[in-house]
Amino acid sequence: MGRMDLRQGIGLRRLGSTADDFQQDLLSSLYYRKGTTVESASARDAYEALALTVRDRLADRRARTAAAQFAHNPRWVYYLSAEYLLGAQLEQNLLYSGTGDLAAQALKPLGRSLEEIEDLDVEPGLGNGGLGRLAACLIDSMATRDIPAVGYGIRYDFGIFKQSLEDGGQAERADDWAFHGNPWEFPAPDDRQTVGFYGHTEPVPGSPVRKRWVPGETVLGEPSHMLVPGYNTETVNIVRLWRARGSEASFDLSRFSAGQYAEAVQEAVRAENISKVLYPDDSTELGRELRLKQQYFLCSCSLRDIIRRFRLRNENWDDFADKTIIQLNDTHPTVAIPELMRLLVDEYELDWDRAWSITRRTFAYTCHTLLPEALETWPVHMFERLLPRHLEIIYLINMHFLREVEAHFPGDADRIRRMSIIGENGERRVRMAHLAVVGTEAVNGVAELHSKLLRETVLQDFADLWPAKFQNVTNGISPRRFIRLANPRLSEVISDGLGGDGWLNDLDRLAELESLADDPAFRERWRSVKRANKVDLAAGDPDSLTDVMIKRFHEYKRQQLKLLHVITMYHRIRENPNGDWIPRTVLFAGKAAPAYHAAKHIIRLINAVAATIAADPVVAPHLRVVFAENYNVTLAERIIPAADLSEQISLAGKEASGTGNMKLALNGALTIGTLDGANIEIRAHVGEENFFLFGLDAFQAAEARINGYHPREHYERDAELRAALDAINAGAFGGVGREVAESLLGWDEYLTLADYRSYLDCQEEVERAWRDRDRWTRMSILNTARCGFFSADRTVADYAARIWRVAPVPVPRED
């Protein structure tokens, strides 16, 4: 179908592109869709009318995209993720639709500024951290690269909790992000699905494999979608989010009439609880049944939708994998593998081997962690109760799989035990990572080191069996959001330097900045941008070294190491108040999982140290510690452009990749970091002379553990370290932080004390570089110039070529 047919066939008026057209459309949105007038419109009315007007422009492109993509009948990429941290939508969509200036103009008659309106745009916090933000960056880049794709996720009523500080500790509040509605989404109730849980299975007469599952409970999944525009291209893809609902029959009128109000709605409430809240936890297995329910809900709804879409254009199941690649964002959606088997075998009546061959070719799996406690497993008894048919299918998959292992490694019973999808040590559990490796065509880690460690440690047995299955795809970030939108000043300098903004779709072009690194006028501009960004952030003296550590709180990331450095600086300044100290602002931001007490103790100690320093007239002029509350995408976009120094100090071998490290380097912050995750690749790109390296490498860290690590030895040996820990224990910070000191001195799981001295020495190198303004600026420019590799556009191109094997389907421009 040609795109003109779409609209002309029904005589739809074209949306104009002049300021006048935009103005008219905004006013009609206000009048007809918000039901108000210019005179009585509230700021929120104006916001919603503007959002709808911008959305219309993208919806237009969406219609043409869908027509072009379906006509092409390509292999679609379906990205399955329990989390999306999309960030605020208005500013992005203004940029991607090229209507920013028109919008500012059009708001004037309403007496509103664009800035005021943008403040009403709430970010949907449907994720915890790196994994969720990566999902958002990848779908942005898929659209930008014209790849036919749909992101599937859950529309949680409550996103990641809102963090505030109470008495210096983290307090959590629910995030009712869509309280005022969400103008960016399109509900699609006709595409709803029915999802079963519990119940039992029955044999199907005449078939040894097929079963009939009789669920004990059913809920509805209702989708809505948000538009995912590509930048500087016509493509607009979608992210489709499922919300759970009770059926029409779930309201019990007779109970209600009898005054049993709570009982009358209890079934509906139970159903809706499935998409009620994002699990605010990205590191420990906290799940329990509701979490498994969420996972199955996402997978079941999405797979049926994928199959529906497949059948619109195709008939033969043998084409399914050629038209479908489903990327599993970590193990959370892994139950999609037995679910597809169930649909193919039980519902569509394919035989097992044919279904398995299709299934295996349909899925690919990305792993995002190395922490053993973050590898999901579910008790067999819970699976059996909630998803009885799926457990039977997993047993069958496992049986076939273990036969394959036995054929490769005859008599190696230990290997079979290690590799089995069912773990038998103690309570029997389903190992989701094993299922994900067995049921997919490709498995990838998210940075070179991570992929190597996956192959050599956690998944070594699987890599022995299927070496070709294992790949690396280094993460990347959206240059539109994290440079252009977050840092408009720097974007302008870059565009001036490169003669245009083509770099936003082709980040390797940043390399052309290298020649400007020695141009004094360019350096001066570069510095003044950073300074202006610091003034905007208003976290401290804009001339101080702005040292930022922004990420989830986790012991492996080692905010406690940064804190020991801060305490040592505090001691040094007190001892020598007239020293030539470099003023520093140390900025922390990040959330801790609500049940993660050790991480919360660290937050508390940071704030206690901050208060002690602020109250000390000798130290305060030189050193300031700030904790910025409620770190989210929006706040990241404010902090990153103002950073001078990026703290990437995890224990080597623990951070799978990191993506904040990329965002900061691209915005001209210099990195102080360990040889961990993508730090290694950042250092290789920017040059070792432009990166502050310290600490043990992954091999040495593993060795230290094996040889028996004694944190106390470091304490005894190092007077400054001893002073820092003693100060905590002596109550120098209001008596706060003894738990932190105790864990560091007791076992120090992440070798913080082992890296302390090397870290402090390295910070002195940082200060030497900072004293030489020109040297620092040059290093900063080179960091930006050499980080083009870390564009998510490159990441997506890698996935497309090596894992998905898909090609772009460009959408014709409107003439």
Please say which residue, 62 or 591, places its beta carbon nearer to ligand 7GP.
591
Residue in 467, 489, 794, 455 with CA at minimum distance from that of residue 640: 489
673 binds ligand 7GP (CB under 6 A): no
- Does 129 bind ligand 7GP (CB under 6 A)? Our answer is yes
Site string for ligand 7GP, 463-502 (x = CB under 6 A): ------------x---------------------------
- Is residue 362 a contact point for ligand 7GP (CB under 6 A)? no
Place of tokens 């997978």: 299
Residue 50 near residue 184 (C-beta atoms within 8 A): no
Residues binding ligand 7GP: what is the number (CB under 6 A)? Answer: 18
Question: From the CB of 144, what's the least distance to ligand 7GP, in Å?
Answer: 19
At its nearest, how many Å lie between ligand 7GP and the CB of residue 633?
14
Residue type at position 5: D
Q: Does 25 bind ligand 7GP (CB under 6 A)?
A: no
Q: Measured from the CB of residue 130, what is the shortest distance to ligand 7GP in angstroms?
A: 3
Phi, psi of 77 (to 5 degrees): -95, 125
Instruction: From 425, 361, 339, 439, select the one nearest 397 (Cα to Cα).
Output: 439
Comparing CA positions, the residue from 211, 153, 209, 233 lying closest to residue 185 is 153
Residue 95's nearest CA partner among 272, 282, 230 is 230
Region 322-361 residues binding ligand 7GP, contact defined as CB under 6 A = 330
Answer for which of 112, 304, 368, 429 binds ligand 7GP (CB under 6 A) is 368
- Asked whether position 590 contacts ligand 7GP by CB under 6 A, the answer is no
SS3 state at 36: coil
Of 486 and 728, CB closest to ligand 7GP: 486
Q: Does 130 bind ligand 7GP (CB under 6 A)?
A: yes
Q: Are 650 and 625 in contact (CB under 8 A)?
A: no
Using CB under 6 A as the binding rule, whether residue 151 contacts ligand 7GP is answered as: no
Stretch that binds ligand 7GP, among 128-136, 257-265, 384-392, 804-812 (CB under 6 A): 128-136
Using the rule CB under 6 A, is 608 a contact of ligand 7GP?
no
Are the C-beta atoms of residues 410 and 393 closer than 8 Å to each other?
no
Q: Cβ of residue 307: shortest distance to ligand 7GP, in angstroms?
A: 27
Closest CB 685 distance from ligand 7GP, rounded Å:
16
Q: Candidates 103-111, 126-134, 316-324, 483-491 — which segment interacts with ligand 7GP by CB under 6 A?
A: 126-134
Which of the ranges 53-61, 123-131, 451-459, 595-603 carries the binding residues for ligand 7GP, by CB under 6 A? 123-131
**Of the candidates 183, 677, 711, 788, which one interacts with ligand 7GP according to CB under 6 A?**
677
140 vs 53: CA distance, rounded Å: 21
Nearer to ligand 7GP, 235 or 472 (CB): 472
Maximum C-alpha span of the chain: 90
Distance of alpha carbon 87 from the chain centroid? 10
Sole residue written with tokens 């109470």: 166
Nearer to ligand 7GP, 130 or 439 (CB): 130
DSSP string, 370-411: --GGGS-EEEHHHHHHH-HHHHHHHHHHHHHHHHHHHHHSTT
Amino acid occupying residue 285: E
- 369 is a contact residue toward ligand 7GP (CB under 6 A): yes
| CB burial of residue 159 (10 Å; 0-12, 13-18, 19+) | buried
Out of 305, 441, 655, 748, the only residue in the binding site for ligand 7GP (CB under 6 A) is: 655
Active site amino acids: 368, 551-552, 557, 659, 663
Q: Does 191 bind ligand 7GP (CB under 6 A)?
A: no
- What is the spatial distance between Cα 794 and Cα 474, in angstroms, rounded to a whole number? 9
Q: Which stretch binds ligand 7GP (CB under 6 A): 396-404, 651-659, 710-718, 721-729?
A: 651-659
- Rule CB under 6 A: choose which of 656, 675, 682, 754 binds ligand 7GP: 656
- By beta-carbon proximity to ligand 7GP, the closer residue of 625 and 672 is 672
CB 368, min distance to ligand 7GP, A: 4
68-76, 110-118, 297-305, 655-663 -> range binding ligand 7GP (CB under 6 A): 655-663
Please give the Cα distance from 690 to 401 (Å, whole number): 48
Residue 658 binding ligand 7GP, by CB under 6 A? yes
Looking at beta carbons only, is 398 or 657 nearer to ligand 7GP? 657
Q: Is 437 among the residues that bind ligand 7GP (CB under 6 A)?
A: no
Q: Is 550 in the site for ligand 7GP (CB under 6 A)?
A: no
187 strand-pairing partners: 224
How buried is residue 759: exposed, middle or buried, by Cβ count under 10 Å (0-12/13-18/19+)? Answer: buried
Give the separation between CA 624 and CA 544, rounded to whole angstroms: 9
Interaction of residue 374 with ligand 7GP, rule CB under 6 A:
yes
Please list, in sequence order, all residues whose beta carbon lies within 8 angstroms of the beta carbon of residue 155, skipping any fewer than 6 positions away.
126, 185, 224, 241, 242, 243, 275
**Sign of the C-alpha dihedral computed for residues 686, 689, 693 and 698 taken in this order:** positive
Stretch of 124-132, 307-315, 696-704, 740-748 contacting ligand 7GP, by CB under 6 A: 124-132
For position 282 contacting ligand 7GP by CB under 6 A, the verdict is: yes
Q: How far is the CB of 281 from ligand 7GP (least distance, A)?
A: 8
Q: 346 or 655: whose CB is closer to ligand 7GP? A: 655
Contact status: 637 vs ligand 7GP (CB under 6 A): no
Closest CA to 448 of 147, 798, 807: 798
**772-799 as b/e: b if 16+ CB within 10 A:** eeeebbbbbbbbbbbbbbbbbbbbbbbb
Residue 567 CA to residue 560 CA, distance in Å, equals 10
Q: Which is nearer to ligand 7GP, 41 or 134 (CB)?
A: 134
What SS3 state is found at 649?
coil
> Which of 278, 274, 363 shows the shortest CA–CA distance to 86?
278
Q: Closer to ligand 7GP by CB, 130 or 183: give it.
A: 130
CB of 814 to ligand 7GP, least distance (A): 36
| CA dist., res. 404 & res. 414, Å (int) | 15
In this chain, which of 69, 93, 659, 743 binds ligand 7GP, going by CB under 6 A? 659
Give the whole-angstrom CA distance, residue 759 versus residue 644: 17
The 3-state DSSP class for residue 137 equals: helix
Site for ligand 7GP in 131-150 (CB under 6 A): 131, 134
Region of residue 471 (phi > 0: left; psi between -120 and 50: alpha; otherwise: beta): beta
Q: C-beta of 675: minimal distance to ligand 7GP in Å?
A: 14
Interface residues toward ligand 7GP, by CB under 6 A: 128-131, 134, 282, 330, 368-369, 374, 446, 475, 655-659, 677
